[in-house]
Amino acid sequence: MSRRVLTQADGVLVHPLSYIRAERGWSYQDLVDVIARRAGNMARRREKAWRWEHWGVVPDRETQIALAAELGIRQELIDTQPWPEWLPAGDPIRAEFSWDQPGSMLAIDQALGNAMMDRRGFMRLTGAGLAGFATEWLNVDPVELTSVLRGGRITEDFVSQIEAGMPRLRMLGEAYGGQRSRRLIDAELGMVAEVLEKSSYSVAVAQRLHGLAAELGRLAGYISFDAGLHSAAQRYWVAAVHSAHAAGDRALGANILKSMALQCYDFGDFSGFLAIARTAYEGAGNATPRTVGMLAVRLARAHASVHDDAEAHRLLGVADTYFGQGPRDDDPAWIGYFDEGEFHAQVGMCYLELGNMRQADSRLDKALKGFFTAKPLDHATYLVMRARVQNELGNADQAGDLLHQAVSLIEQAPSRRNVDRLVAVRDRLPDGIRGNDLDQRLSTLTG
């Protein structure tokens, strides 16, 4: 969890220390005071605690021992678990549900009961537990679903009506993001879960219902992720992977894992990013070419993040070959977002990771030419990323102009991740380029 957190949305607990302070009613000053009383010689400056939470600064061992004693935690945990993993930061994200229909239902129930109230802006499921969850999904075959006679019979026409509403929900997430869309998607997921629990249906209908639950969980997770609610996102995604497994849809499960991999990247866990992106790529089953191309780009970026440039370039070639085959009638509905603009943007992000700014700029330029007019959230993301590239190329004025454009889009489609990215790029610009106008506009976004 070494990623520097640049902003804090209202109510989002951005670090395990934020959770502890909220639980105990401590200010930053209270936190350093209670540690100083035990450590004895620590300077009581509140800025130290702020840096622990927001800049990824790791407190020294004496400070950690003092805090552990205050929290009633054995010192051995400090020796066996790195900072801040030993901190008591609320309930864990459960991932040990059985890989069958009851397990899928229990996972959905856990997500619906907890995700909307989970304000933790940090990952709770990490390391071997997260990688093990992805590997387990890869190696378990779906079991045949059975109907349980508890209510009215659900027909395929009824499921088709629910499926027909999915494009609208995807559009809400892409265009607006934020809590409004998440509440709607959470409610829709609850309705599908209730149908699964209380109705009877055929095996084919059950698979479609579980597929709906998986896609709704993926959407709710991604919107939570974008809003900085990382533990809530993990709750939704764990349930979604189980639902995709119950539906027998390997490609859908791989797409959910792809999002979980990106969360690892945002937190600087590049080995986790690579492990989960590889699992998604290898576990997609008989996926369509466009789906394979999408997963190959994500895996290429993962290899680039660990400086395996040769494999990253090879996978970019694979992605180009598969994506170049064009759309097919049997493409899943959710792959529609991965159009030509998104392909160029994702390849551009990979080149950015590889340090090839010319190629990154060329791809991002192609992506931004008309492909994102209906998707302000993604449009803002790639404007900010191109601003970063332009600044690296020495074009600071152009970078500033791109950031101004991005601010307008973020005002329309609020995004915690986009604000963090934008502030990070702004901080890299020369002082004369930032300008009071840009800083004033940013202040309305960051509070």
- 201 is in which domain, residue-wise? 92-248
The reply to whether 388 falls in a domain is: no
- 226 DSSP 8-state letter: H
pTM for this entry: 0.77
pLDDT at residue number 171: 78
Q: Are residues 64 and 180 in the same domain?
A: no
**Which of these three, 248, 266, 294, is where a domain ends?**
248
Is 70 exceeded by the pLDDT of residue 106? yes
Residue 357 tokens read as: 């700014």
- Residue 438 CA from chain centroid, whole number: 27
Mean pLDDT score, 251-260: 96
Q: Are residues 38 and 104 in the same domain?
A: no
Tell me the β-bridge partners of 13.
Answer: 120
Indicate the range of 21-35, 36-50, 313-327, 408-422 predicted with least confidence: 36-50
Q: Are residues 114 and 207 in the same domain?
A: yes
pLDDT at residue number 152: 61
Indicate the range of 48-62, 328-342, 375-389 predicted with least confidence: 48-62
The reply to whether 366 falls in a domain is: no
The CATH number assigned to the domain holding 21 equals: 1.10.260
Q: Are residues 53 and 108 in the same domain?
A: no
- 3-state DSSP: the chain helix, strand, coil percent, rounded to 5? 70, 0, 30
In the chain, what percentage of residues exceed pLDDT 90?
42
Cα torsion through 136, 142, 146, 152, rounded to 10: 80
Query: 59 burial class (0-12, 13-18, 19+ CB within 10 angstroms)?
Result: buried
**Which of these three, 223, 248, 273, is where a domain ends?**
248
The reply to whether 240 falls in a domain is: yes
Q: Which residue has the tokens 């600044």?
A: 391
In 347-386, beta strands by DSSP E: none
Structural domain count of the chain: 2
Is 60 exceeded by the pLDDT of residue 1? no
Q: Are residues 76 and 97 in the same domain?
A: no
d(CA 226, CA 124): 16
Identify whether the C-beta of residue 218 lies closer than 8 Å to the C-beta of residue 236: yes
The reply to whether 173 falls in a domain is: yes
Q: Are residues 27 and 124 in the same domain?
A: no
Q: What is the pLDDT of residues 232-243, one digit of tens each?
A: 999 999 999 999
Q: Are residues 96 and 74 in the same domain?
A: no
Q: What is the pLDDT of residues 116-173, one digit of tens each?
A: 777 776 766 676 667 777 777 777 666 544 433 345 678 888 888 888 888 888 877 7
Rg (CA), the chain: 23
Is 70 exceeded by the pLDDT of residue 7? no
Question: For the chain, give me the number of helices (H) and strands (E)?
Answer: 22, 0
Looking at per-residue pLDDT, the higher value among 391 and 127 belongs to 391
Identify whether the C-beta of residue 259 lies closer than 8 Å to the C-beta of residue 275: no
Q: What are phi and psi of 153, to 5 degrees?
A: -80, 130
DSSP characters for 169-181?
Answer: HHHHHHHT-HHHH
Mean pLDDT score, 329-339: 93
Is 90 exceeded by the pLDDT of residue 186? no
Q: Are residues 102 and 226 in the same domain?
A: yes
Q: Are residues 185 and 206 in the same domain?
A: yes
Is 80 exceeded by the pLDDT of residue 309? yes
**Which of these three, 34, 53, 80, is where a domain ends?**
80
The reply to whether 4 falls in a domain is: no
183 HSE (CA, 13 A, CB side): 4
